[in-house]
Amino acid sequence: MLQIRGLGGGTALTGTIFERGEEAPSFKGAPDEEAAYVWVCDAFYEVESGGTPLEIDGEEIRVAFESPMSRGFDTREQAIEAAKEHIRTQFARIGVDDVAIEVEKEGPA
């Protein structure tokens, strides 16, 4: 299992890549269980009212969450690149362009 974390604007967003042999969550819209690598992460966008408060660079905004985004991939590299792009896109949706991305292996090596 890989944790892909984006850090920007004083906050973080983390998603998970489930690797071959690991059990990815199953829910409506989840990728085929035959996928070698499965990326799962929240998606969100800024809203004027309602939503959940989030502090970005010292200023409070409100965000609404979409259903978790999950996709299946054939290779680890494809999954990591898609994960990084997804995280950059989520931050861009709330006006944060400077995002540091970390990839961390969870569990036994």
Helix, coil or strand: residue 32 = coil
| From 1-10, 20-29, 62-71, 82-91, the region with the lowest mean pLDDT | 20-29
Distance between alpha carbon 29 and the CA centroid of its chain, in Å?
16
- The predicted pLDDT at position 13 comes to 95
Q: Residue 91, SS3?
A: helix
pLDDT in tens, 78-106: 999 999 999 999 999 999 999 999 999 98
Are the CB atoms for 15 and 6 separated by under 8 Å? no
pTM of structure: 0.88
Question: Would you state the structure tokens that stand for residue 52, as one six-digit string?
Answer: 């959940």
Phi, psi for 33 (deg, rounded to 5): -65, -10
Mean pLDDT in the chain? 90
Percent of the chain with pLDDT over 70: 91
- What letter does residue 30 receive in the DSSP assignment? P
